[in-house]
Amino acid sequence: MNQKQNHLQLDNKKSRQWWENPMMWQIIIASVLAVIVGILIGPGSNNQNSIKYLIIPADLVINALKVLAYPLVFLILIHTFVSTKIEAKQIRKIVTQLLINTAVASLIGLLVFKLLHVQSIEGIRISSGFGQAEPVSVEKIEFVTFMKSLIPTSILKPITEGDKGIKSMIVVAISFGVALRAIKEEQKSQNKTDYLFVEQIIETLKKAIIYILKWVVNLLPLAIFGLLAKAIVSSGFGLFKSLGWFIIATVIAFFLQFCYYLIRLKLHSWVKPGDFVVKGREAFTTAFFTASGIATIPITNQALKSMSLRDDSVNFGSSLFVHFNKDGTALTLVMSALLFIPTSQTGNLSDFGRILIIVLASILASTIAVGVPNGGMAGLILVFALAGLDVNSFFALVLPIDWFIDMFRTVINVMGNMTTAALLEGKRKPSTT
């Protein structure tokens, strides 16, 4: 790609700011209409028949997302292992950096949520039922029992069990991915190309599911409208008090993650934190106003080059990591899940098993992001399914405000990519001769 084409791509990406996102405006309008409908019907009203037909299509949309999310997660995990172009000697160092950053992001989200005493939404299970809100019964998860359930009793069981089979499905997908990767490397050493057939099938199936997912995602505003109206009529506006603190806590957690990046640069990279912030400011600003890590790739590339990083580090930081390193996403997933666990269970860490599962699941789910609007729904559904939480409540209460959080989240994702690229450089600056 020549310089002129590069600038054209950059201009096209820049022209699409967050306020030009039609899906965001559809969600905002759907949320406003839901609040109006909820007020007109009356919070706590027994006359919920007025919205029952709105809940039915909402349930259908959520169910469709779940049906697509599980095979998508399965295929993405396999495809990641098979197609990622990283040399074996680099894998250990790269994976270590990614896991450390994402794990810290998840833990920061957990600690901020706890230290600010953000009150969880003592949940309502928002469904197509009638009458008053149904309290969510969130049972404790024993971590030992969870680990024992990872291995399925049959190869088809993970696929047919839905939420219950998601744990073993992940294990099966990773196992197949590692095995296929080993076969691919073996065949390449023998100048064979049989593996390409399987790789193409996986890629085609993944694209087909993503294509269908685009159709379903376009119906998300309809689902939000019905679920949010149901929530207001069922429980009034009291449950929204926690959302204000949730937003504040999330922004604070993002800031702490930013500070963590600067500390890591100070300790483990020759790139100075001050230079990192100054030379990367355009990438951070673009990430904020576009809310898209992919749209920021050209500017991220330029920023990393201006820091005099090696070409390999620049390529990893501006291209590869944007698909796998999602620290801001992991942080948000942890805090979103905690929001729906009763405070009585998280207050004294009595449900440590579930919290640990949420952190681990968020690290995994943060890598599952596809190039479609709200494609991160697959990762979200994965985390909630593993934690035994009701994803409908998230769609009703958090998704309407997620467009605002997403701007900050994207900055952290991009900053995490750039930090990891700088960390690969080490403490010694490469010679320019």
Question: Which structural domain, as residue segments, surrounds residue 274?
Answer: 21-423
Residue 345: CA atoms inside 13 Å, Cβ hemisphere, count?
A: 21
Instruction: Please say whether the beta carbons of 307 and 279 come within 8 A.
Output: yes
pLDDT tens sequence for the chain (433 residues):
344 344 334 444 444 565 667 878 888 898 899 888 888 877 655 555 666 777 788 888 888 888 888 888 888 888 877 876 665 556 666 677 777 888 888 889 888 888 887 766 654 455 444 333 344 444 455 556 666 666 776 666 666 666 666 777 888 888 888 899 889 889 988 998 888 888 899 889 988 988 888 888 888 888 888 888 887 877 777 667 778 888 999 999 999 999 999 999 999 899 999 999 999 999 999 888 887 777 788 888 889 889 988 887 787 766 655 556 678 888 888 888 888 776 555 444 445 667 777 777 877 777 665 544 455 677 778 788 877 777 777 887 888 888 889 889 989 988 988 898 888 888 877 665 4
Closest CA to 328 of 243, 423, 421, 411: 411
In a domain, 204, yes or no: yes
DSSP string, 176-206: HHHHHHHHHHHHHHTT--THHHHHHHHHHHH
Answer yes or no: is 4 within a domain.
no
pTM exceeds 0.85 for this model? no
Q: At what angle do helices 327-338 and 241-268 cross, to 10 degrees?
A: 150
Q: How many CA atoms lie within 13 A of 320 on its CB side?
A: 20
Residues 6+ apart with CB under 8 A from 317: 300, 301, 304, 309, 417, 418, 420, 421, 422
Cα gap 182→176, rounded to integer Å? 10
Q: Is residue 6 in some structural domain?
A: no
CATH number at residue 262: 1.10.3860
Q: Is 14 among the domain residues?
A: no
SS3 128: coil
Indicate the burial class of 409 (C-beta count within 10 angstroms; 0-12, 13-18, 19 or more).
Answer: buried
Q: How many angstroms separate the CA atoms of 288 and 270, rounded? A: 26
Question: Is residue 141, in this structure, part of any structural domain at all?
Answer: yes
Q: Which residue do the tokens 């990773």 mark?
A: 174
Structural domain includes residue 3: no
Q: How many Å apart are CA 129 and CA 48, to the nearest integer?
A: 9
d(CA 228, CA 9): 38
- Per the listing, tokens 């009150």 go with 119
Report the domain count for the chain.
1
Provide the CA 226 distance to its chain's centre, in angstroms: 24
| Residue 106 resides in a domain | yes
Could you tell me which residues are beta bridge partners of residue 135? 124
How many angstroms separate the CA atoms of 27 and 416, rounded?
Answer: 28
Torsion of CA 212, 215, 216, 221, to 10 degrees: 160
